[in-house]
């Protein structure tokens, strides 16, 4: 529990919340710390206070579940305002208690945890890799609400404070000291002693900002901070397209707050904090990107019936980009990897892949050649399937061809142990069909990694018709071991990610046929919050590839095939203009060797510009809506094991506009009846792809939501 | 009730830096020069002026604290003469005149001096701060970008190339040189003296008559770095998503010059003129101020001119002399494009690219140039227009008294 321990004239406020791995701010801790501070302040025998943690971290910040509940609880502005200042008020009592208080930072002090440190008169930090400080609230769509936006710029200056607040990164001890985020470092085992020595030697019990004549270091809003703020505002807008109110709120807290005495400045901070709680972005981001995502990473979809499974060695077939990437990631996480290709030489390309990855990091001094060699040593290149005998799971990452995949899967099954799992890294071929190539289809599964493997967080796990629970559990174990995020789906054409993600490109490419200016299409894509605009993305994926997939689908489906909005455009570019995308140096963009890529001017000749151009907001809506509708269709058609997984998977998988909290949350926040009505309008104008699925109509009718 | 234009005077424009000819003159003293000259020329008695209105865009420091009233007092117009300072950014000097015309026209004043002052060498652009650029909520909501990038945005959106803009600059220099050579500014120029009577500056200091197209072509774009490295181009594209990239066409040679200067215009009602024995050179026919989209900022002058013309019952073809402030070359081009004018029809005595743009004073200065030009050419109507920060435009139509 949180308690005050007395050692003669010195007291320790010990942060030690019961039944929790880490200390957090919630009602319980607010009350307990408040009581300790009151006891310290009123006890005349006590001359100094050390605030320390009994856990491996100091204090991890706010209780996310509580924050999510507050942010999505439909509370009124008055209610939020009345309660929004609790932490700030408590911290203010600490720094104005009249006696010195020192923070002994042993581990992570993040968010409200670091704000507690900021309210102390001195900050001592253990020089330990685990110890870090930071204010990550912006990543949740929030801002610090315990005075952090006010104390930090007053402590370290506006420029440094912006660097900490805007990105939400954490800083290790040495960096924190250099930036002035803490006052002193010491060896971990001397933390308390060092803190107590400060109390004995040179205690201060008043904050700089409470002293007369205080000046903001580096210039205030009448000085250099004015220009800093102007540029920071523009750069933030440029980076986020106005989709993230939290960043602008931080800027405003500083710009407005620094002109005020600190108590009035806290009011400004609270006002912006409340405005963010009233905005759907924060609640959406907390739920999807923290609660849902954490649950997924911790194995929420792992079958409960399956116990721990051994996993220390995997096989990878095919040493191309995907195979090499998977081998790299597995070996980096300590797994033994056997990589098979036509020859040992071919298979050894995985080593080259690892070396290339490490070269970049070694150059930036973020890794050493020894680490690289250790990773390579865990990857064994081979041309002999018999070497797979020690692998508990084998992933084939060979050419996207049914016969080739069948051949290697079958070979892998023959050379592995009875309980080994065979996985296919296919992005398009149905898993149930591929499973026919092996004798034990129940031990066959899809593991759809994205390229480049080392950078893409999501892995789509595709359960074939016969895939059993043990197989699914082992696949999830591997994904967890790689530190990646799993999403489990059923077998269907395009699975989930490719299918939904494809609608974004189709929509953007199709807009050309409506005479919409290419630059407007692209900017609408960026402004929608997608990581890349649709035409540029199409160039990256490859126009020839997209065209070919279309042709293949046409051949597969016969009469059932329906051309989509992008088909005529791809025909024109690929067939007529011979522009195959970025790999060919020409697609929707030109790629001059001596400059930045720019939109191909020939587009304006082939697709005559409409006299009336739509508003960008309309295009943004179309981009997000088409993806959201396809997501709901996936739910309706049973593609998802769990509908709610769509939200985090869309964001982690292809960067679906994170501020929305994912496609389903986005629809819920708009309101189902409103969304359905809007889709009907879009469908009337642009066609069936915008027709809302029946599931959506039914839910709207019965007043339900997608996420509940 | 008509507002009669009695006279319009200005100081020369000194280069807006410490080595400039007017840099040692305080803003109040600078403003006093044309005020004293008006008094000397027209001999109106002490305390007879009903109002002094001075435009000033950075009214802080020594330009702050109601420089209109302080200059009126120090110029010796009399303790009974009230004064005020107004600010509508670059059109302040013209808006001072329009405000005076409104007072006179509505019968609330009979004799008013309107003009403006800006000592850019002493009080830097941006000195007065303001929420528009530095309040994060406001800057975000209004898509604030520095004005030069707005100028580049105008060029990009309306298709003006670097060559087009340089041609405007070259013409500004040539027309200015011609005007100076012919003494067209002599009537309105008031030399500036130090307190001991030593002449500091008698002629405009900023023109570079020897400028060639090659000289201009060699200049580096002024706003490319600001736009590209600090996010402002991207902010502009949030508001103008159809633009793929902003073409940075403006540079020191085709944008208005930074200078010091002051101007004052004596305006009167018919009664006021008669009472003090003043002869009218012209009259104010109409005026207008309009707002426009603030990010691109500089596209309102044509609309303001059209509105002023409509109020006067006139059309574009009725105007014999056009003054459009050369804030940036693209502003002049866009003004002509919108109104269907040839470049040769506007700014025939050059403009702020050659002469400089003392922010608060310019409107009154080019107002005087228009009047002088009507008299020189025997024209009847002139229209004066300026683009204004935060998306505004002001225009005034005047008529010469025959």
Q: What is the pLDDT of residue A284?
A: 93
Q: What is the mean pLDDT of chain A?
A: 95
Residue A222: per-residue pLDDT: 86
Helix (H, G, I), strand (E, B) or coil at A324: helix
Q: Which one, of B75, B86, B94, lies nearest residue B34 by Cα?
A: B75
Burial class (CB in 10 A: 0-12, 13-18, 19+), A610: exposed
Q: Helices A349-363 and A321-332 sit at what angle, rounded to 10 degrees? A: 60
Q: Is the pLDDT of residue A50 over 90?
A: yes
Pairing type for strands A458-463 and A485-490 reads parallel
User: pLDDT tens-digit profile of A214-247?
Assistant: 999 999 888 889 999 999 999 999 999 999 999 9
Nearest C-alpha neighbor of A381 from the set A353, A414, A341: A341
- Are B100 and B112 in contact by the 8 Å Cβ rule? The answer is yes
Residue B8's pLDDT is: 98
Give the number of beta-carbon pairs within 8 Å between A and B.
Answer: 78
Cα separation values, B310 from A206, B286, B304, B391, B401, Å: 67, 9, 10, 21, 21
- Assigned token pair, A181: 């985020």
Distance CA A125, CA B189 (A): 70
pLDDT in tens, A131-177: 999 999 999 899 999 999 999 999 999 999 999 999 999 999 999 99
CB B337 within 8 A of CB B346: no
Nearest to A242 among B135, B140, B232 (CB): B140
Reply yes or no on whether B203 is catalytic.
no
Residue A368, sorted as left (phi over 0), alpha (psi -120 to 50) or beta, turns out to be beta
- Tell me what ipTM this predicted complex has: 0.92
Which of 129-158 (B) contact A at CB < 8 A? 129, 133-137, 139-140, 143-145
Nearest CA to B8 out of B183, B167, B188 is that of B188
pLDDT value of position A237: 96
User: 3-state DSSP call for residue A326?
Assistant: helix
Find the residue in B nearest to A226 (Cα): B134
Could you read off the pLDDT of A562-590 as tens digits, one per residue? Answer: 888 899 999 999 999 999 999 999 999 99
CB B383 within 8 A of CB B352: no
Provide the chain A residues 176-235 that lie in CB contact (below 8 A) with chain B: 221-222, 226-227, 229-235
Q: pLDDT band at A83, cuts 50/70/90?
A: confident
pLDDT at residue A329, rounded to an integer: 97
Task: Count Cβ atoms within 10 A of the Cβ of residue A345 and give its class: 0-12 exposed, 13-18 middle, 19 or more buried.
Answer: exposed
Rounded mean pLDDT of A441-460?
A: 95
d(CA A463, CA A582): 33
**Cα–Cα distance between B213 and B218 in angstroms, integer?**
9
Closest chain B C-alpha to A257 CA, distance in angstroms? 11
What number of residues does chain A have?
708
Identify which of A226, A520, A599 has the shortest CB distance to residue B129.
A226
A236 vs A179: CA distance, rounded Å: 22
Residues of chain B with Cβ-Cβ distance to A237 below 8 Å are 140, 143, 231, 234-235, 238
Per-residue model confidence (pLDDT) at position B253 = 98
Digit-coded pLDDT (tens) for A255-311: 999 999 999 999 999 999 999 999 999 999 999 999 999 999 999 999 999 999 999
Q: How many angstroms separate the CA atoms of A527 and A535, rounded?
A: 14
Residues of chain B with confidence (pLDDT) below 50: none
> Which of A5, A79, A95, A137 is an active site residue?
A137
Residue-wise pLDDT tens digits, A590-643: 999 988 999 999 999 999 999 999 999 999 999 999 999 999 999 999 999 899
Query: Which residues lie closer than 8 Å to A702 by C-beta, 6 or more apart?
Result: none
| pTM check: above 0.90 | yes
Does residue B90 carry a catalytic annotation? Answer: yes
Q: Which H, E and C letters describe B177-203, residue by residue? A: HHHHHCCCCCCCECCEECCCCCEEECC
Nearest residue to B113 via CA among B206, B50, B25 = B50
Residue B183: how many CB atoms within 10 A of its CB?
Answer: 9
Query: Tell me: the pLDDT tens digits for A542-565?
Result: 999 899 888 888 887 888 888 888
pLDDT at A620: 98
Per-residue burial over A469-489, b = 16 or more CB atoms within 10 Å of its CB, e = otherwise: ebbbbbbbbbbbbbebbbbbb
Residue A649 pLDDT exceeds 80: yes
Q: Which residue has the tokens 């409509």?
A: B310
From the CA of B269, how many Å to the nearest CA of chain A? 44
Alpha carbon of B387: minimum distance to chain A alpha carbons (Å): 23
- DSSP class of B265: E
Q: Rounded to whole angstroms, how far apart are CA atoms A476 and A297?
A: 9
Residue A523: the pLDDT is 97
Asked whether residue A493 carries a pLDDT value surpassing 80, the answer given is no
Q: Which tokens belong to A423?
A: 């996985």
Which of residues 239 through 298 in chain B touch A, CB cutoff 8 A? Answer: 241-245
pLDDT digits (tens, 9 = 90+) for A412-425: 999 999 999 999 99
User: Chain B interface, mutation test: which of A223, A233, A522, A595, most B Cβ atoms within 10 Å?
Assistant: A233
Distances (CA, A) of A608 to A536, A543, B69: 20, 21, 60
- Cβ contacts of A251 on chain B, cutoff 8 Å: 136
Would the CB atoms of B231 and A519 count as touching at under 8 Å?
A: no
Contact state of B231 with A520 under an 8 Å Cβ cutoff: no
Checking if the pLDDT of A73 tops 90, the result is: no
Surface of B (53-72) touching A: CB under 8 A: none
Chain Cα centroid distance, residue A672: 26
| A575 closest CA partner among A599, A591, A551 | A551
**Rounded CA separation A146/A87 (Å):** 5
């Amino acid at each position: 529990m949180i308690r005050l321990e007395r050692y003669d004239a010195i007291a320790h406020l010990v942060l030690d919340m019961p039944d929790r791995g880490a200390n957090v701010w919630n009602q319980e801790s607010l009350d307990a710390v408040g009581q300790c501070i009151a006891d310290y302040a009123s006890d005349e025998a006590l001359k100094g206070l050390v605030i320390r943690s009994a856990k491996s971290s100091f204090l991890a910040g706010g209780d996310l579940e509580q924050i999510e509940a507050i942010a999505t609880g439909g509370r009124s502005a008055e209610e939020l305002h009345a309660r929004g200042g609790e932490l700030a008020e408590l911290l203010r009592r600490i720094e104005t208690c009249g006696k010195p208080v020192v923070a002994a930072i042993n581990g992570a002090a993040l968010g409200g945890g670091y704000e507690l440190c900021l309210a102390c008169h001195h900050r001592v930090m253990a020089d330990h890799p685990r110890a870090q400080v930071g204010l990550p609230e912006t990543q949740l769509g929030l801002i610090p609400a315990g005075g952090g936006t006010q104390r930090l710029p007053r402590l370290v200056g506006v420029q440094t404070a912006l660097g900490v607040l805007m990105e939400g990164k954490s800083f290790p001890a040495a960096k924190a000291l250099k930036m002035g985020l803490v006052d002193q470092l010491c060896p971990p085992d001397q933390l308390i002693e060092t803190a107590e020595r400060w109390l004995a030697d040179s205690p201060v019990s008043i904050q700089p900002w409470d002293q007369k004549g205080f000046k903001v270091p580096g210039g205030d809003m009448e000085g250099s901070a004015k220009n800093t703020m102007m540029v920071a505002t523009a750069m933030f807008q440029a980076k986020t397209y106005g989709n993230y109110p939290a960043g602008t709120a931080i800027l405003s807290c500083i710009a407005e707050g620094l002109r005020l005495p600190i108590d009035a400045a806290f009011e400004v901070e609270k006002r912006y904090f409340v405005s963010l709680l009233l905005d759907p972005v924060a609640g959406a981001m907390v739920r999807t990107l923290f609660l849902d995502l954490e649950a997924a990473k911790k194995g929420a979809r792992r079958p409960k019936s399956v116990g721990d499974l051994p996993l220390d060695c995997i096989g990878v077939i095919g040493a191309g980009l995907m195979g090499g990437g998977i081998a790299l990631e597995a070996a980096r996480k300590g797994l033994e990897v056997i990589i098979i290709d036509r020859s040992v030489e071919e298979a050894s390309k995985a080593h080259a892949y690892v070396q290339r990855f490490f070269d970049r990091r070694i150059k930036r001094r973020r890794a050493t050649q020894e680490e690289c060699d250790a990773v390579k040593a865990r990857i064994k290149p081979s041309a002999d399937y018999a070497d797979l005998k020690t692998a508990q799971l084998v992933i084939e990452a060979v050419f996207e061809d049914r016969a080739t995949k069948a051949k290697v899967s079958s070979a892998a099954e023959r050379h592995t142990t009875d309980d080994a799992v065979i996985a296919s890294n296919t992005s398009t071929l149905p898993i149930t069909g591929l499973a026919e190539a092996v004798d034990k289809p129940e031990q066959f599964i899809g593991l759809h990694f994205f390229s480049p493997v080392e950078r893409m967080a999501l892995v789509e796990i595709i359960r074939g018709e016969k895939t059993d629970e043990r197989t699914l559990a082992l696949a999830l174990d591997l994904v967890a071991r790689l530190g990646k995020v799993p999403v489990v789906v059923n077998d269907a054409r395009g699975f989930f990610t490719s299918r939904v993600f494809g609608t974004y490109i189709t929509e953007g490419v199709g807009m050309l046929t409506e005479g919409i200016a290419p630059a407007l299409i692209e900017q609408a894509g960026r402004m929608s919050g997608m990581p890349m605009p649709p035409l540029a993305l199409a160039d990256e994926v490859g126009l020839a590839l997209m065209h070919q997939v279309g042709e293949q689908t046409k051949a597969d489906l016969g009469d059932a095939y329906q051309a989509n909005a992008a088909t005529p455009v791809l025909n024109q570019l690929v067939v007529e203009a011979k522009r195959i995308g970025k790999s060919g140096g020409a697609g929707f963009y030109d790629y001059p060797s001596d400059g930045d890529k720019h939109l191909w001017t020939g587009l304006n000749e082939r697709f005559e510009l409409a006299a009336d151009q739509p508003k960008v907001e309309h295009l943004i809506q179309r981009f997000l809506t088409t993806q959201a509708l396809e997501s709901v269709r996936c739910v309706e058609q049973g593609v998802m094991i769990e509908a709610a997984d769509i939200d985090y998977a869309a964001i982690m998988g292809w960067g679906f506009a994170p501020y929305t909290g994912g496609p389903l949350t986005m629809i819920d926040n708009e309101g189902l009846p409103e969304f359905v009505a809007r889709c009907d309008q879009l469908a009337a104008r642009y066609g069936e792809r915008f027709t809302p699925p029946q599931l959506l109509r039914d839910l709207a009718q019965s007043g339900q939501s997608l996420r509940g | 009730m008509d507002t009669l234009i009695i006279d319009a005077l200005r100081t020369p424009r000194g280069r807006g830096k410490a080595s400039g000819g007017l840099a040692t003159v305080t803003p109040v003293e600078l403003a006093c020069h044309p005020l004293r000259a008006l008094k000397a020329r027209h001999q109106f008695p002490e305390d007879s002026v009903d109002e002094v209105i001075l435009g000033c865009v950075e009214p802080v420091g020594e330009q702050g604290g109601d420089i209109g009233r302080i200059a009126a007092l120090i110029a010796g117009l009399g303790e009974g003469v009230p004064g005020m300072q107004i600010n509508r950014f670059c059109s302040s000097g013209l808006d001072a005149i329009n405000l005076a015309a409104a007072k006179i026209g509505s019968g609330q004043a009979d004799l008013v001096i309107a003009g403006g002052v800006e000592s850019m060498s002493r009080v830097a652009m941006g000195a007065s701060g303001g929420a528009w650029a530095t309040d994060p909520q406001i800057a975000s909501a209004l898509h604030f970008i520095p004005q030069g990038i707005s100028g580049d945005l105008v060029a990009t959106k309306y298709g003006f190339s670097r060559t087009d803009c340089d041609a405007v600059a070259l013409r500004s220099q040539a027309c200015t040189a011609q005007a100076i050579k012919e003494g067209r500014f002599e009537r309105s120029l008031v030399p500036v003296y130090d307190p001991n009577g030593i002449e500091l500056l008698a002629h405009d200091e900023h023109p570079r008559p020897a400028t060639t197209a090659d000289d201009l072509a060699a200049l580096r774009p002024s706003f490319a770095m600001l736009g590209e490295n600090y996010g402002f181009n991207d902010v502009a594209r949030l508001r103008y998503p159809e633009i793929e990239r902003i073409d940075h066409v403006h540079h020191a040679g085709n944008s208005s010059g930074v200078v010091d200067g002051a101007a004052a215009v004596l305006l009167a009602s018919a009664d006021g003129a008669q009472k003090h024995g003043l002869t009218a050179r012209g009259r104010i026919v109409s005026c207008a101020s309009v707002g426009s989209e603030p990010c691109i900022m500089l596209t309102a002058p044509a609309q303001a001119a059209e509105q002023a013309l409509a109020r006067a019952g006139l059309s574009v073809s009725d105007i014999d002399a056009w003054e459009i402030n050369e804030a940036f070359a693209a502003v002049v081009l866009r003004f002509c494009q919108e109104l269907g004018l040839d470049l040769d029809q506007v700014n025939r005595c050059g403009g702020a690219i050659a002469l400089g743009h003392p922010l608060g004073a310019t409107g009154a200065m080019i107002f005087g140039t228009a009047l002088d030009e009507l008299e020189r050419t025997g024209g009847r109507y002139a229209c004066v227009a300026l683009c204004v920060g935060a998306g505004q435009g002001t225009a005034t139509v005047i008529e010469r008294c025959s």
